[in-house]
């Protein structure tokens, strides 16, 4: 009897010490192999840079590769939750993977911080108190492009995007802020790499401008072919086709193109210039949009971990909501649906020495929130 | 739809088809001579594009880049043939599928390991960039016209090679009766390596040519591989002529499907939905074409039963 | 006892014991991982019937896998969103009952296989490989661009569907259910392989003319096998969707077809337990190599290559020797 109670006391004190010393465990599920790995690697590198700079060794990060496959992402989330017993999940790049993982993770009382994807469902009807988006709602950059087009006086735009949900959201987002006529609206095949037929349609349509959302290799192909076609209408797009990682592959064809982004390396604040310098020093390349989002996500997490224990979910959530960290974007706040309220800038592609990059030429939308916040009942 | 637009789209379909032919020709040749189904053909296409991008970046010369794409893809093809493919000729298609599936994994991730995860830069040379004005006032990119020219020239060259040269005779003999030509003292393993390298070089060249107007990235070969398979199945496996006809059919079907289907649906649906449904059907159009051809002619247009 | 029988019993025993042990020691994730093995093995067993027994090299089984997945997704999402699936001729609100979903998946898998089989079985050899691939691609693009059920985003089902008398949310209970289905499917395929139909199917693979000479039409035999094979794979698709509580067009992709084929070849073509061993080895490699390097596909590639070149007959061939010829 006595022995048993001693053992019990020892176990309990071990438990208490454990709870005290136990830090925060983060599971990062991101795309590290196959096509699209560049985005995941940037998010990871930005995130880990912030971790390293914080010097907090009580935050453990487990990283897994989802291969850009939703079923693998779901299984990794199961593993992170069941086996690694993480407190916070993050890292997913693609909306379809986020839709597969996030609802299940938040339903199991895990926090999820999105460093990239922001599908409309998660901002609206299916929002959750433990889900925070640190990047943007998917429509945001397209809305900014529409606002820019309206401000620039475009009256007759030709718009195109791949035929999948994010593509449809993109065109919807653009139309929401644009207000003018459409010279044409075309959905292309996902993964399509030859746009000769669409460019011929643009030429014949009498448009005064072009808006496109074609992420990754699709955008590279479109821009090169567009530049080569002799059609010289102004082009507007979201930052995804003009980020640091792929801009070098587009080359001269991108020069002067207007794109919209919530971040650029020339945003003037101390956090940003320190980030750009230290990222270059650490990895030997310029940071991309995705790296900045990974960096911000980590800093948000670190700021919350400094204020509350993750086991106290309400306190931790309040600390996340406060968003008291130095964002590389400058001002950053969460709206009521845990999505950012932020400025979205207009950038132009320029050449600095041998490197293609962007500079900010204006602000498309100030303190912009998303269109779905009203549907969110937390 | 105005006539000039139709002509321009015809050219686009033609150019797409010719490009496909370069990939499909190698594939059909390899199947015809060795009876091998090679899923890794798309990887050779990718190797050509990456070699071209690397050399263009180092030397600035597009001609050198094309030469590099031919050399690198041919070398990779020969190497793979000697190390792996050679052991698969007398196996069933199933083993060939699995082994070449494994080669895709090795090539794709190997390339990513060497060149990183970001797309590479490869551009049209300045002397081929920009549009030219064709008779009738149609503006068309010079580079795409060049691709059509190169593709048709290579098609002609291949026909001549097979019809008129010693190697061509051996290739035809090899297609007809493998044991026989070995018995006649032709070094069959050298012939096989040569044919495989030739097919690989064509794929590599097309990867480089297309890479200049598309995106040089890991995984660029697989969509092309699937298209090339559709082409050779429509044309009849093993037939160069079939590959040419199949390529052009696929190129034109895909191009016109993309333009006409949304218009067709637009006559009775509201525009946004018509675009979406039309695009959905357009992305299935070439597979429908293939299914129809195979139902009418189960061995393709020019295939032998 | 034949060595193969011994290997089969050992594999089955491992499937019974290991997850229970993992569950008892708190390693719940290994239960989930083994569930994945079991479900993918069912898909492989389905393909193996067409491929191993019937010699029909289908590169499009992802079509059936995806159809099964979407049957689950569509039935469950209608119930979840309170939008009736059918109001005419009778009211059907969708379903979250696995037996109902499985039945519908079997029926739709069989119907899909019937229509694809009717067209593609007219061809043979490489043409058959390619036309099945093309049908798979067709469904893939259809699923991506069809907006009603999520397109590329897929469909999330927030709670795993129910099975009478079980709590499917508990990993080990769901695992037990899946294992039962696997055993039932294995038993069915084993009975088929011994039946006169199975013998005719084997004969159709080895010598179609001889079969015709005795008055059996090989086309019908093959079509029947293809339909059963498609239905089993669709069942696996529905279960896989329930494992992930999610479906997406990815289930239709040609890589999925390739992977199901890899399970079969890795384990041993035409061997009853081949797909089970193959799926287990593949998932294990994915799990272990994936943790080692972000370039793990290279190693996977070399392992697959090694199996084809040096271990003909797959894992079962290594463990139990090459199959005795049936001729």
Answer whether B97 sits within 8 Å of C125, measured CB to CB: no
Chain B interface, best mutation among C263, C270, C298, C299, by max B CB count within 10 A: C298
Cβ atoms of C58 and C269 within 8 Å: the answer is no
Q: How many beta-carbon contacts under 8 Å exist across A and B? A: 129
Cβ atoms of C251 and C292 within 8 Å: the answer is no
C99 CB within 8 Å of a chain A CB: no
Question: Bridge-partner residues for A62, per DSSP?
Answer: A27
CA A277 to chain centre: 21
Please tell me the least confidently modeled range out of A31-40, A336-345, B26-35, C179-188: A31-40
Mean pLDDT of C22-37: 90
- Search chain C and give the residue with CA nearest A72: C244
Which run of H or of E encompasses A318? helix A313-322
pLDDT at residue A19 tops 80? no
Residue with the larger pLDDT of the pair A143 and C147: A143
pLDDT score, position A10: 42
Q: Whose CA is closest to C227, among C112, C66, C128, C103? A: C112
**C325: in domain:** no
Q: What is the DSSP string of B211-265?
A: HTTS-B-TTTHHHHHHHHHHHHHHH-TT-HHHHHHHHHHHHHHHHHHHHHHHHHH
pLDDT at residue A25 tops 90? yes
A75 CB within 8 Å of a chain C CB: yes
Q: Nearest-CA distance from B197 to chain C in Å?
A: 20
Q: Whose CA is closest to B60, among A194, A354, A255? A: A354
Beta strand pairing call for A88-90 and A24-30 = parallel
Mean pLDDT of B236-246: 91
pLDDT band at C323 (very low <50, low <70, confident <90, very high): low
Rounded to a whole number of angstroms, the CA Rg of chain B reads 20
**C327: in domain:** no
**CA–CA gap between residue B125 and residue B127 (Å, rounded):** 6
Q: What is the DSSP string of C178-231?
A: HHHHHHHHHHHHHHHHHSHHHHHHHHHHH-HHHHHHTT--HHHHHHHHHHHHHH
Answer whether B99 sits within 8 Å of C308, measured CB to CB: yes
Number of domains in chain C: 1
Distant-in-sequence, close-in-space partners of C226: CB < 8 Å, separation ≥ 6: C50, C54, C56, C58, C113, C116, C117, C121
Q: Which two tokens stand for residue A113?
A: 């911080």
For chain A, the structural domain boundaries read: 2-136+268-334, 140-261+344-374
**CA–CA gap between residue B107 and residue C302 (Å, rounded):** 11
CA distances, A178 to each of B270, B303, C269 (Å) = 20, 54, 58
Which residue range forms the structural domain that includes residue C125? Answer: 3-320
CA A4 to chain centre: 53
Cβ atoms of C265 and B94 within 8 Å: the answer is yes
- Search chain B and give the residue with CA nearest A196: B12
Cβ atoms of C22 and C14 within 8 Å: the answer is no
Restricting to A residues 3-42, those with a Cβ less than 8 Å away from any Cβ of C are 32-34, 37
Question: Bridge-partner residues for B140, per DSSP?
Answer: B132
Answer whether C152 sits within 8 Å of A164, measured CB to CB: yes
Give the range with max mean pLDDT: A188-192, B171-175, C54-58: C54-58
Which run of H or of E encompasses B78? helix B62-83
**CA–CA gap between residue B85 and residue B80 (Å, rounded):** 6
Cβ atoms of B24 and B236 within 8 Å: the answer is no
Mean pLDDT of C92-108: 93
**CA–CA gap between residue C112 and residue C117 (Å, rounded):** 8
Cβ contacts (< 8 Å) between B109 and chain C: which residues? 295-298, 301
Q: Whose CA is closest to C264, among C178, C188, C189? A: C189
pLDDT at residue C159 tops 70? yes
- Search chain B and give the residue with CA nearest C128: B298
pLDDT score, position C282: 92
* ipTM of this complex prediction, to 2 decimal places: 0.86
pLDDT at residue C123 tops 90? no
Cβ atoms of A236 and A149 within 8 Å: the answer is yes
Chain A interface, best mutation among C141, C240, C246, by max A CB count within 10 A: C246
Q: Whose CA is closest to A324, among A296, A304, A342, A294? A: A304
Cβ contacts (< 8 Å) between A220 and chain B: which residues? 119, 214-215, 217
* Percentage of residues in chain B having pLDDT higher than 90: 48
Specify the DSSP class assigned to residue A351.
Answer: E
Alpha helices (runs of H) in B90-135, residue ranges in sequence order: 93-115
Give the one of A34, A189, A221 whose C-beta lies nearest to B214's C-beta: A221
**CA–CA gap between residue B37 and residue B141 (Å, rounded):** 35
pLDDT score, position A22: 59
Cβ contacts (< 8 Å) between B291 and chain C: which residues? 119, 131, 134-135, 138
CA distances, A263 to each of A167, A288, A347, A377 (Å) = 22, 9, 9, 29
Cβ contacts (< 8 Å) between B58 and chain A: which residues? none
pLDDT band at A15 (very low <50, low <70, confident <90, very high): very low
**Alpha-carbon torsion (A156, A161, A164, A165), positive or negative:** negative
pLDDT band at B305 (very low <50, low <70, confident <90, very high): low
**C297: in domain:** yes
List chains touching C (3+ CB pairs under 8 A).
Answer: A, B
* Percentage of residues in chain C having pLDDT higher than 90: 57
Cβ atoms of C187 and C205 within 8 Å: the answer is no
CA distances, A148 to each of A62, A142, A258, A347 (Å) = 40, 10, 9, 11
Give the one of A70, A100, A164 whose C-beta lies nearest to C145's C-beta: A164
Cβ contacts (< 8 Å) between A218 and chain B: which residues? 215
pLDDT score, position A11: 42
Residue range C245-300, pLDDT digits in tens? 889 899 999 989 999 999 998 999 889 999 999 999 999 988 888 777 778 889 98
- Search chain C and give the residue with CA nearest A98: C153
Mean pLDDT of C53-62: 93
- C125 φψ region: left (φ > 0), alpha (ψ -120 to 50), beta (else): left
Distant-in-sequence, close-in-space partners of A96: CB < 8 Å, separation ≥ 6: A70, A165, C152, C153, C154, C248
Cβ contacts (< 8 Å) between C250 and chain A: which residues? 69-71
Please tell me the least confidently modeled range out of A185-199, A263-277, A337-351: A185-199
pLDDT score, position B185: 73
A107 CB within 8 Å of a chain C CB: yes
**CA–CA gap between residue A164 and residue B20 (Å, rounded):** 25
Q: Whose CA is closest to C69, among C277, C212, C246? A: C246
List chains touching B (3+ CB pairs under 8 A).
Answer: A, C
Residue C35: other Cβ atoms inside 10 A: 25
Cβ contacts (< 8 Å) between A103 and chain C: which residues? 156, 158
Cβ atoms of C19 and C30 within 8 Å: the answer is yes
Please tell me the least confidently modeled range out of A54-63, B162-171, C230-239: B162-171
Restricting to B residues 187-226, those with a Cβ less than 8 Å away from any Cβ of A are 210, 212-220, 223
Answer whether A165 sits within 8 Å of C151, measured CB to CB: yes
pLDDT at residue A17 tops 60? no
Give the one of A35, A194, A200 whose C-beta lies nearest to B219's C-beta: A35
**CA–CA gap between residue A170 and residue A164 (Å, rounded):** 10
A206 CB within 8 Å of a chain B CB: no
pLDDT at residue A30 tops 70? yes
Cβ contacts (< 8 Å) between C258 and chain B: which residues? 97, 101
Residue with the larger pLDDT of the pair C66 and C217: C66
pLDDT score, position A236: 95
Give the one of C57, C123, C134 whose C-beta lies nearest to B230's C-beta: C134
Cβ contacts (< 8 Å) between A229 and chain B: which residues? 131, 139, 141
Q: Which two tokens stand for residue C35?
A: 């569930």
**CA–CA gap between residue B233 and residue C127 (Å, rounded):** 6
Mean pLDDT over each residue of chain A, to the nearest integer: 89
pLDDT score, position C1: 60
Give the one of B93, B110, B295 whose C-beta lies nearest to C129's C-beta: B93
Residue with token string 């993964």: A191
Q: Which two tokens stand for residue A105?
A: 């993770």
CA A54 to chain centre: 22
pLDDT score, position B189: 84
Specify the DSSP class assigned to residue A341.
Answer: E
pLDDT at residue B145 tops 90? yes
**CA–CA gap between residue C300 and residue B102 (Å, rounded):** 8
Answer whether A189 sits within 8 Å of B109, measured CB to CB: no
Distant-in-sequence, close-in-space partners of B163: CB < 8 Å, separation ≥ 6: none
CA distances, B91 to each of B271, B286, C58 (Å) = 52, 30, 17
pLDDT at residue C326 tops 70? no
pLDDT score, position A2: 41
Restricting to A residues 102-131, those with a Cβ less than 8 Å away from any Cβ of B are none
Residue range A273-298, pLDDT digits in tens? 999 999 999 999 999 999 999 999 99
List chains touching A (3+ CB pairs under 8 A).
Answer: B, C
Cβ atoms of C272 and C53 within 8 Å: the answer is no
Answer whether C265 sits within 8 Å of B95, measured CB to CB: yes
Architecture of domain A2-136+268-334: 3-Layer(aba) Sandwich (3.40)
Mean pLDDT of A98-121: 91
Q: Which two tokens stand for residue C42?
A: 């069912």
Cβ contacts (< 8 Å) between A38 and chain B: which residues? 116-119
Please tell me the least confidently modeled range out of A137-151, C75-89, C100-114: C75-89
Beta strand pairing call for A24-30 and A59-65 = parallel
Q: Nearest-CA distance from B85 to chain A in Å?
A: 24
Distance, first Cα to last Cα, chain A: 50
Residue A187: other Cβ atoms inside 10 A: 27
- Search chain A and give the residue with CA nearest C250: A69
Q: Nearest-CA distance from C327 to chain B in Å?
A: 18
A176 CB within 8 Å of a chain B CB: no
A63 CB within 8 Å of a chain C CB: no
Mean pLDDT of C194-205: 92
**CA–CA gap between residue C181 and residue C177 (Å, rounded):** 6
Cβ contacts (< 8 Å) between A189 and chain C: which residues? 141
CATH of domain A140-261+344-374: 3.40.50.2300
Residue range A82-92, pLDDT digits in tens? 888 999 999 99
**CA–CA gap between residue B135 and residue B139 (Å, rounded):** 9
**CA–CA gap between residue C51 and residue C58 (Å, rounded):** 7
pLDDT at residue A13 tops 80? no
Mean pLDDT of B96-108: 92
Question: Bridge-partner residues for A64, per DSSP?
Answer: A29
The domain that contains C125 carries what CATH number? 1.10.3470
CA distances, B287 to each of B12, B277, B284, C110, C300 (Å) = 19, 16, 6, 21, 31
- Search chain C and give the residue with CA nearest A66: C290
Restricting to A residues 250-269, those with a Cβ less than 8 Å away from any Cβ of B are 250-253
- Search chain B and give the residue with CA nearest C266: B98
């Amino acid at each position: 009897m006595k022995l048993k109670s001693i053992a019990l006391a020892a176990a309990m004190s071990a438990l208490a010490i454990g709870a005290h010393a136990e830090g925060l465990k983060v599971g990062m599920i991101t795309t590290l192999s196959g096509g699209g790995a560049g985005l995941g690697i940037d998010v990871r590198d930005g995130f880990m840079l912030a971790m390293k700079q914080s010097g907090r060794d009580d935050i453990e990060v487990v990283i897994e590769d989802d291969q850009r496959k939703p079923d693998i992402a779901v299984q990794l989330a199961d593993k992170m939750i069941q086996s690694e017993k993480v407190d916070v999940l993050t890292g997913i790049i693609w909306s379809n993977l986020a839709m597969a993982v996030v609802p299940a993770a938040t339903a199991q009382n895990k926090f999820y911080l999105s460093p990239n994807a922001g599908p409309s469902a998660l901002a609206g009807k299916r929002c959750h108190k433990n889900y925070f988006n640190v990047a943007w709602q998917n429509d945001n950059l397209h809305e900014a492009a529409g606002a820019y087009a309206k401000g620039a006086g475009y009256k007759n735009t030709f718009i195109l995007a791949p035929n999948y949900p994010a593509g449809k959201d993109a065109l919807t987002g653009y139309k929401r802020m644009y207000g003018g006529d459409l010279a044409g609206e075309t959905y292309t095949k996902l993964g399509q790499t030859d746009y000769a037929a669409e460019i011929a349609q643009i030429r014949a349509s009498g448009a005064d401008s072009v808006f496109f959302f074609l992420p990754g290799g699709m955008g590279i192909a479109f821009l090169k072919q567009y530049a080569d076609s002799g059609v010289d209408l102004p082009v507007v797009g979201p930052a995804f086709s003009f980020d640091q990682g792929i801009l070098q592959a587009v080359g001269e064809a991108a020069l002067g193109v207007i794109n919209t982004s919530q971040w650029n390396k020339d945003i003037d604040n101390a956090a940003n210039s320190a980030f750009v310098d230290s990222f270059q020093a650490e990895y030997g390349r310029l940071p991309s949009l995705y790296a900045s989002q990974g960096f911000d996500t980590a800093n948000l997490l670190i700021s919350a971990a400094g204020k509350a224990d993750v086991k106290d979910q309400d306190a931790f959530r309040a600390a996340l909501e406060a968003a008291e960290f130095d964002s590389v974007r400058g001002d950053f706040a969460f709206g009521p649906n845990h999505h950012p309220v932020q400025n979205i800038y207009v950038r132009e592609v320029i050449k600095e020495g041998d490197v293609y990059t962007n500079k900010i030429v204006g602000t498309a939308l100030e303190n912009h929130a998303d269109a779905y916040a009203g549907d969110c009942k937390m | 739809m105005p006539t000039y637009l139709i002509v321009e789209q015809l050219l686009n379909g033609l150019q797409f088809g010719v490009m496909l032919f370069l990939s499909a020709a190698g594939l059909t040749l390899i199947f015809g001579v060795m009876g091998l189904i090679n899923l890794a053909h798309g990887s050779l296409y990718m190797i050509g594009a990456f070699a071209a991008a690397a050399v263009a970046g180092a030397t600035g010369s597009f001609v050198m880049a094309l030469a590099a794409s031919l050399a690198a893809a041919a070398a990779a093809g020969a190497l793979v043939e000697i190390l792996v493919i050679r052991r698969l000729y007398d196996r069933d298609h199933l083993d060939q599928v699995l082994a070449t599936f494994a080669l895709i994994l090795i090539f794709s991730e190997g390339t990513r390991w060497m060149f990183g995860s970001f797309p590479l830069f490869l551009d049209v040379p300045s002397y081929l960039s920009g549009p030219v004005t064709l008779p009738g006032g149609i503006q068309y990119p010079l580079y795409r016209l060049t691709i059509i020219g190169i593709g048709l020239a290579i098609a002609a060259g291949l026909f001549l090679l097979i019809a008129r040269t010693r190697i061509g005779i051996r290739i035809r003999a090899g297609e007809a009766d493998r044991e026989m030509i070995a018995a006649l003292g032709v070094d069959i393993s050298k012939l096989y390596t040569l044919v495989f390298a030739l097919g690989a070089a064509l794929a590599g060249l097309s990867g480089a040519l297309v890479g200049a107007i598309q995106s040089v990235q890991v995984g660029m070969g697989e969509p092309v591989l699937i298209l090339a398979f559709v082409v050779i199945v429509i044309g009849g496996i093993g037939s160069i002529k079939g590959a040419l006809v199949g390529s052009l059919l696929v190129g034109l079907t895909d191009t016109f499907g993309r333009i006409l289907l949304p218009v067709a649906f637009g006559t009775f649906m509201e525009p946004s939905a018509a675009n979406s449904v039309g695009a959905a059907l357009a992305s299935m159009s070439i597979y429908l074409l293939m299914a129809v051809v195979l139902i009418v002619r189960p061995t393709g247009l020019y295939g032998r039963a | 006892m034949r060595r193969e029988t011994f290997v089969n019993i050992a594999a089955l025993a491992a499937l019974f014991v290991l997850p229970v042990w993992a569950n008892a020691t708190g390693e719940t994730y290994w239960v989930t991982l083994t569930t994945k093995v079991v479900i993918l093995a069912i898909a492989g067993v389905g393909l193996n019937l067409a491929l191993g027994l019937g010699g029909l090299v289908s590169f499009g089984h992802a079509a059936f896998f995806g159809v099964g997945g979407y049957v689950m997704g569509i039935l469950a999402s209608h119930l979840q969103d309170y939008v009736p699936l059918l109001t005419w001729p009778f009211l059907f609100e969708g379903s979250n009952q696995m037996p109902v979903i499985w039945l519908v998946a079997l029926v739709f898998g069989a119907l899909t296989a019937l229509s694809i089989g009717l067209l593609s079985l007219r061809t043979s050899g490489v043409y058959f490989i390619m036309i099945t691939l093309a049908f798979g691609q067709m469904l893939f693009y259809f699923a991506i661009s069809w907006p009603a059920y999520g397109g590329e985003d897929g469909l999330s089902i927030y709670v795993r569907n129910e099975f009478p008398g079980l709590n499917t949310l508990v990993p080990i209970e769901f695992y037990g259910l899946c294992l039962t289905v696997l055993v039932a499917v294995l038993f069915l395929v084993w009975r088929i392989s011994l039946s006169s139909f199975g013998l005719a199917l084997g004969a159709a693979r080895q010598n179609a003319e001889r079969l015709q000479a005795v008055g059996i039409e090989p086309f019908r035999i093959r079509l029947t096998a293809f339909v059963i094979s498609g239905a089993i794979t669709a069942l696996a698709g529905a279960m896989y969707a329930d494992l992930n509580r999610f479906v997406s067009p990815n289930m239709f992709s040609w890589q999925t077809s390739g992977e199901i084929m890899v399970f079969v070849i890795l384990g041993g073509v035409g061997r009853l337990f081949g797909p089970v061993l193959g799926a287990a080895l593949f998932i294990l490699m994915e799990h272990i190599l994936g943790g080692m390097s972000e370039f793990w596909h290279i190693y996977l590639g070399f392992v697959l290559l090694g199996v084809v070149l040096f271990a003909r007959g797959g894992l079962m061939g290594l463990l139990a020797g090459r199959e005795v010829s049936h001729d």
